[in-house]
Structure 1
């Protein structure tokens, strides 16, 4: 549904247009109101507006000035101008400002609705073009190396794709790589002369080195590369002819040639570490971690060096728990309040712990400290205290873990995460209840001037968000609530006071008595005078 903003210095006219026309029937989900061009710009800074209907002649910022400002800042917004003057200069300037329509007052309801329909059709046409499949494919082709790099980065961090989704993703990136394809991974470190360059020159050298690598490996292999977070160039080396095995001797020869030609033509040194043959894509994250460790331990500070990872790592060697560090990370899920995804993540973590490291107290500690770190990050990010969330458990936390089994850690984690979830849910409910109370207190005390914008400013919230929260909690929109409150107060005053009808109209926020009478009759079926007489 689209969002509409009506701007006019006559509040009764704005109120009439906003409430009396069947906007929802033509696709308008929310109607906002402004009494001046300046107020309209304030609304647009806070709320995504799709269509603006504005009077031309207003004090201060005129309608024409307003749409020129809108065009400069929000080029996608459609603007419809209303004018009481059939002046060619106005129309000419409106056309220059690319107004969607130019209507003369008094405008018929159907004429205005049709103008908005036309604006919606133009918006839909534009956004369909922007988001079209063909346009997306063209953009993807233009940015193919970048998108491939992002996908490889996700795979290095343990992201997994399955079935048709994976095949479709590879097809879009023009990577014809069936599951279980043989591959080798190579890490490349730029050294000495390269490392002393500024960021721009370093990027150029990286590009040149990757081009040299592509040229050297072109005979029999395909390369897929990116720069990782540690400054290594990561290459996947894949067979170009669909072979089921890689000739590792050939790969090692090409690695040696790559070092030679980089030194010869670019005057700098590189070190390389490569894996033996593994499976694509299942082994990418595991072999990447092994290569990082190997680079640190085997090559270290050596220059112009290359190393090939052994087929087997010793079975007694320790390793970290991959599920703890694979995206989505636990602290991101907790911070975002994605509780079901958090439960799934914890199940995967404990499943790996039980299957691989059931007898390792060190890995139980690694999991415990990771969970505590994620919880403390999320709790503090939400401006809360761990002691308030955890209660008595916090004292145990200060004394360090007392877990000897995975089951004990699992139960403790479930209890603490459950307490945090309950606390966040309670605070959210209390916060919403407080907002509703503030809205109602403000509206009842300033009924003659209250509007969605003024209420939102009073409670320091975006009008669109406030409107959604209020309707979610009460089942009634703020505009409907204000209208009902005004009519109920008017009815009470008609029954219990001797105030004149035009005075009552002003007291509940209607400057034009005729409009007040019209709205009152629509609600109660009789005029205010007939209501008083009865």
Structure 2
């Protein structure tokens, strides 16, 4: 969508050009007009203008001076000058101003003026594209480091990270302020509620806010890094500052820290870890209270029972996911620790907390399932799902337990995100979602999750079609009821709280027709009715269907029906007389 401002001290010229470009749909223009330079300057103050179509000689200020004022406010603005004087001196001066696309005499026909504007819009589009490429490159540079760190940790948790002796090099290169040569403590967090009301952008913002809240409480006593996982959870890798040996990327500082750590005996190290773990529990409580108060969100956390070596971080993260997922969708503001859950479950080795199953491959398959669900590929989703669950028929019971609760977390997260828990509970036994022992067999559990998947795909199919169709129906009805009014794309988009570009694309994608073409079709349909069944004058009919001037109405009518409005009326009158 581009914005065109037409400026001339001759109103008839301005009005003719305004009508011409308002009805030139393929240019996708939002058109403004001004009969005086002062009005043009007011518009330039309040509205971004991409292209100025201006007379050169005007009272109070020349077109060249006006364009210079436009450049001060909108440096990317381009101009096409119109003049009634074939004066080469003016043309030279205009071209030296820069940004001038063309210099035309006013007696040129409409097609030549349209071609000049098309040329200007191509230049503007190319400039925007170049600026977008530059902006994207700059943004990539700004976000590269955090993204690389996140990708590193995600790969590391899935078992695709570097060997233990290479870990320190990767930490240094990515400026990760943790030590690779001492254990790490891990905590997993999630947003319990609000996911169904939040857009993807708002949810991302909330996750960022939660990480900031935890960082504020944790920074004084620990070195840490937080990473967003698949499904919207956040995991924290934490070490005591007293033991950390890799804070500084400079070798000297790291060696100094290492020497300090080496001077601590084993007893001191154990005390430091116990104190940190105790503080982390209170930090999680404080983060819950702050999020509830400031963000109106409830959080749940799962904490490991103690520090682990870096090589065991992937298995530890899988355990925390299972731990946090046991009550997903039904409990809020949980504070769970591995040992506590094991005690609550009676120390059952099949609880899913201690397994030997290859969770790395399972996570990859879940990522593919999520991709199929998001893209609406139901057949591919179910095929992979049955491959995953049928292949799981051979492992020992504890492995099946891990697979079950991993799938439980996956489906519960999707139900929560789509706001389908109530619908789900009405159709199925919701209590079985988090209880493997409620199923009589593995086959029954597989069928249960398959029905949950059917519900998710049903929701996606309905919600992809209905909102768009309702929006289009509303727009069509509004157009039919307001044909005499301005029906610009900007006006229509404001009615449905969308951008003009988005509405134009949605309409085309949903109906197969351009929105502008539908408006013209409805106006011409009403025009035929008024010409045939009323005695209204041509200029009255033009006004009744939204045309400011009868000549523009006549031009479009003839273009569509190959006859003028008067010829159509005469033919209709003769037809009626013949029937009588």
Q: Shorter chain as normaliser: what TM range?
A: 0.5 to 0.7
User: Retained in 2: the 8 A contact 1:353–1:363?
Assistant: no
Aligned to 2:538: 501
Provide the secondary structure at the position in 2 that maps to 1:385: helix
Shift of 1:439: 2.1
Q: CA RMSD in A?
A: 5.2
User: Retained in 2: the 8 A contact 1:379–1:385?
Assistant: no
User: Retained in 1: the 8 A contact 2:50–2:78?
Assistant: yes
Aligned to 2:24: 20
Provide the secondary structure at the position in 2 that maps to 1:522: helix
Residue of structure 1 aligned with 2:127, choices 122, 128, 151: 122
Alignment: residue pair count: 411
Ranges in structure 1 where 5+ consecutive residues have no aligned partner: 24-30, 35-53, 72-77, 163-169, 176-182, 191-197, 208-224, 238-252, 299-312
Shift of 1:507: 0.9
Provide the secondary structure at the position in 2 that maps to 1:187: coil
Aligned to 2:3: 5
User: Retained in 2: the 8 A contact 1:443–1:482?
Assistant: yes
Aligned to 2:389: 350
Residue of structure 2 aligned with 1:113, choices 103, 106, 118: 118
Residue of structure 2 aligned with 1:487, choices 524, 529, 546: 524
Aligned to 2:460: 424
For residues 407 and 320 of structure 2, the distance between their equivalents in structure 1, rounded to whole angstroms, comes to 27
Aligned to 1:101: 78
Aligned to 1:33: 30
Give CA-to-partner distance per residue, 1:92-125, whole Å, 9 cap, x none.
3123222522333476223222222222232233
Distance 1:399 1:461, change over 3 A: same
Residue of structure 1 aligned with 2:51, choices 80, 86, 106: 80
User: Retained in 2: the 8 A contact 1:8–1:58?
Assistant: no
Distance 1:18 1:262, change over 3 A: farther
Shift of 1:384: 6.5
Shift of 1:524: 1.4
For residues 318 and 386 of structure 1, the distance between their equivalents in structure 2, rounded to whole angstroms, comes to 30
For residues 318 and 455 of structure 2, the distance between their equivalents in structure 1, rounded to whole angstroms, comes to 35
Provide the secondary structure at the position in 2 that maps to 1:33: strand
Shift of 1:525: 1.5
User: Retained in 1: the 8 A contact 2:530–2:536?
Assistant: yes
Provide the secondary structure at the position in 2 that maps to 1:420: helix
For residues 395 and 151 of structure 1, the distance between their equivalents in structure 2, rounded to whole angstroms, comes to 35
User: Retained in 2: the 8 A contact 1:189–1:232?
Assistant: yes
* 1:232 counterpart = 2:229: no
Aligned to 2:149: 149
Aligned to 1:373: 412
Shift of 1:511: 1.2
Matches within 5 A, 1:132-531: 139=141, 146-158=146-158, 186-188=182-184, 226=225, 229-233=235-239, 257=259, 259-260=261-262, 271=273, 275=309, 285-286=314-315, 318-319=354-355, 322=359, 336=374, 338-339=376-377, 343=382, 346=385, 350=389, 353-354=392-393, 356-358=395-397, 362-363=401-402, 366-367=405-406, 369-370=408-409, 373-380=412-419, 385-387=423-425, 390=427, 393-394=428-429, 402-449=438-485, 450-531=487-568
Aligned to 2:286: none
For residues 348 and 257 of structure 1, the distance between their equivalents in structure 2, rounded to whole angstroms, comes to 52
